[in-house]
Structures are given as C-alpha cells and as structure tokens.
C-alpha cells in the first residue's frame, strides 16, 4: 500500500516512535517526539508515544473502592496514581501481528494484564490495533475484556509537533477543542470530582487559539481534561484540530472516548535529546490524549470507566492529517 503517511511502532510499550506525514509541497515531516534507539526508551522519559493503562491520567489519592473493596495503587505522582503506575502498559512487551490490505496497513498488539498488576483487579486481555490508510489517517482501536470488574481507560501518549520533531516549540501552532466543560483540579492536578465550564480567557478553545497566547493562561501551563461534545455515547466525533499555519499542515482528532486531555509538554526542559539530535525544550510537543475521565473511578457523574466480565471495551481514536 502506498500513501502519504507512514509510522514506526515498537512492541515495547506499544510506542509510536515516528509518524511521517506528506505536506503540500510533497516533503515529509516526522510529527511525533521520540528517540531513534530502544535504549533511550528504557531510560526515564515522559511516556513519548506509549500506550497508557490500565487508567490514563491521575487517580486521586492513589486508591479506589470497587464493589466493597479498597484497592491501593502506587502514588507515582504523589499524592496521586498516574498513567497506570510505574510499570503500567507503557513498560510491557506486547505481542505484535502485522497485516495489510490494498488500502490499509495494520499492526495488532495484544497483551494479558494479570490480576493484581499495579494493584488493579482482574485478568484483562487487551488488543490495540494501529493502522494507516490512504486518507492520511492514523487510527488506534482499543479492545479489552476482563474476568473481574476493573477500572480501564486506555490512551496513547504521543507528543505531536506539526512543524516536525526537533523544530522547537509548538507555540506557533493553533488549537481548537470542541468542549464546554473540563474536569476540575487543584494546583497539584488532583481531580476534585466535578465538572466546571471552560473560561473564555483561559482554557476555552472553542475558537482557534494560538498556543503561544493560550499556554500561559492554562493551569500550571499544563492543560485540562475536556469533556467532548457529542449527541450520543460512543459515536466517533471530531474532538480537536491542531494546525501549523506556516506549513499548512493540520491534524484533526476524532474519538469515541468521553474526554481528551490536552498537555503542553511543560515538563520538558532541554535535557532529553530527540531523534534529530536536538534538545526537547519546554513545549516542544503537544498531547491530545483521548480517554475516559480518570476521576470517574471515584465519581460516577464524571463517566463510567469500570469494565465488568461479559462486557467489551471498544474505543477508537483517529488522527487525520491534511495539508493546504
């Protein structure tokens, strides 16, 4: 299959190590941050391109109650549990199975998460399918089943830069997010268990905004967890648009998930060297993590992220690229 989009993925952590997009002038650009050697992914890094689970985001207090039992978790982002724990899905080896058709190339990754892994109950069988097609769409489908009730909310933690990884910051790029509410947090990013409206001058992206102007107004210059506007649960809807006016490259995100966590890569400080041999400075990439709201494990009003025996977890996220 020939198309203007290609990617590299490793079965360690399900990591997306490259996404190459063809621009209007027929040049290609790699739009995700990462490394060119596996050994760098084995060292500490901010989850560049990894699969995240069992629960993406922060579980407040690093514990949850389910069906009359309390489950303590690692407080790896004290006082909270973050991204499935220090040995979550991003640290596991997945079983790969590549395939292709005339119109699509696919990589199926499977993993059995055993009962008790990182403190979570139940044996959970997970399948994640990455695919690219001739419409310049990069698709991720997440499927899972369990033998015990367990929280489950999966995402991918790719850091995008439409100007190209190693090109500097994303501050000259423009973001639009189709949402009216976020999950409230305190200064430590602990979820407070309720929704609040976006504020016109702060975290409202219902109109396209230049990230250089928007990031200083975000809490901790970080980003929030947005509840996606939709007419019915589970439909694949347009979620966000990230664009790079200088090159004309645009990435439109669609998802069946309930929320999207935006993150401005505020943790980067120039100490990590990327694929092109250039330091990744603060705001060198931007994450659009489509997921369920992790606060739902404590507060059902924020959604439902409990998977039970007999149910099938099935969600899709699409990153569609276009160039003008």
Residue 51: predicted pLDDT: 98
Active site residue 90: no
Domain count, the chain: 1
Cis peptide bond N-terminal to 79, omega within 30: yes
Give percent of the chain above pLDDT 90. 91
The answer to whether the beta carbons of residues 167 and 36 sit under 8 Å apart is no
Range(s) of the domain holding residue 200: 5-323
Neighbours of 113 (CB within 10 A): 23
CA-CA distances (angstroms) from residue 280 to 41, 68, 98, 242, 252?
15, 45, 31, 19, 24
Active site residue 289: yes
Catalytic, out of 157, 244, 283, 315: 157
pLDDT digits (tens, 9 = 90+) for 90-124: 999 999 999 998 889 999 999 999 999 999 999 99
Residues 6+ apart with CB under 8 A from 83: 47, 52, 55, 56, 57, 90, 157
Token pair 């389910």 in the structure block, residue: 66
Greatest CA separation for the chain: 59
Rounded distance, CA 138 to CA 143, Å?
Answer: 17
Residue 176: predicted pLDDT: 98
Mean pLDDT of all residues in 181-189: 91
Mean pLDDT of all residues in 151-175: 98
The lowest-confidence range among 1-10, 102-111, 136-145, 300-309 is 1-10
pLDDT higher than 80, residue 157: yes
Residue 189: predicted pLDDT: 85
Residue 33: predicted pLDDT: 98
pLDDT digits (tens, 9 = 90+) for 286-310: 999 999 999 999 999 999 999 999 9
Closest C-alpha to 242, from 12, 21, 8: 21
Residue 201: predicted pLDDT: 74
Q: Whole-number mean pLDDT of the chain?
A: 96
Q: What is the DSSP string of 42-102?
A: HS--S-TT-EE-SB-SEEGGGEEEETTEEEE---TBTTBEETT-TTSGGGSBPEEEEEE-S
Mean pLDDT of all residues in 9-15: 98
Residue 259: predicted pLDDT: 98
Rounded distance, CA 183 to CA 191, Å?
Answer: 7
Residue 2: predicted pLDDT: 55
pLDDT digits (tens, 9 = 90+) for 217-276: 998 999 999 999 998 888 999 999 999 999 999 999 999 999 999 999 999 999 999 999
The answer to whether the beta carbons of residues 96 and 127 sit under 8 Å apart is no
Closest C-alpha to 94, from 139, 131, 133, 125: 125
CATH number of the CATH domain containing 141: 2.70.98.10
The answer to whether the beta carbons of residues 43 and 29 sit under 8 Å apart is no
Residue 221: predicted pLDDT: 92
CA-CA distances (angstroms) from residue 229 to 196, 203, 216, 239, 255?
14, 15, 25, 8, 11
Catalytic, out of 137, 165, 258, 289: 289
Strands (E), 114-257: 124-133, 137-146, 150-151, 155-156, 174-177, 179-185, 191-197, 209-210, 225-228, 237-244, 249-255
Beta strand 155-156 with 313-323: parallel, antiparallel or unpaired? Answer: unpaired
């Amino acid at each position: 299959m020939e198309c203007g989009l290609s990617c590299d993925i490793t079965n360690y952590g399900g990591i997306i190590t490259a996404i190459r997009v063809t621009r209007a002038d027929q040049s290609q650009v790699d739009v995700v941050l990462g490394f060119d050697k596996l050994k760098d992914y084995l060292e500490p890094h901010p989850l560049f391109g990894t699969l995240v689970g069992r629960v993406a985001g922060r579980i407040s207090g690093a514990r949850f109650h389910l069906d009359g039992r309390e489950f303590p978790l690692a407080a790896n982002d004290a006082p909270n549990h973050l991204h499935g724990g220090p040995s979550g899905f991003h640290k596991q080896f997945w079983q790969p199975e590549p395939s292709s058709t005339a119109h699509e190339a696919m990589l199926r990754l499977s993993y059995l998460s055993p009962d008790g892994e990182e403190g979570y109950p139940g044996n959970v069988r997970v399948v994640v399918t990455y695919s690219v097609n001739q419409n310049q769409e990069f698709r991720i489908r997440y499927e899972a089943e369990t033998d015990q009730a367990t929280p489950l909310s999966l995402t991918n933690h790719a850091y995008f830069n439409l100007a190209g990884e190693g090109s500097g910051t994303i501050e000259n790029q423009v973001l639009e997010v189709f949402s009216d509410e976020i999950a409230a947090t305190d200064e430590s990013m602990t979820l407070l268990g309720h929704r609040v409206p976006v504020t016109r001058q702060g975290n409202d992206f219902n109109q396209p905004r230049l990230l250089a102007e928007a990031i200083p107004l975000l809490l901790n210059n970080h980003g929030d967890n947005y509840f996606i506007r939709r007419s019915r649960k589970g439909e694949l809807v347009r979620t966000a648009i990230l664009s790079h006016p200088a090159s004309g490259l645009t990435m439109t995100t669609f998802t069946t998930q309930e929320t999207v966590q935006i993150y401005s890569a505020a943790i980067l400080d120039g100490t990590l060297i990327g694929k092109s041999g250039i330091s990744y400075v603060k705001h060198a990439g931007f994450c659009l993590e489509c997921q369920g709201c992790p606060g739902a494990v404590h507060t059902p009003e924020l959604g439902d992220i409990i998977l039970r025996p007999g149910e099938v977890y099935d969600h899709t996220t699409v990153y569609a690229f276009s160039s003008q």
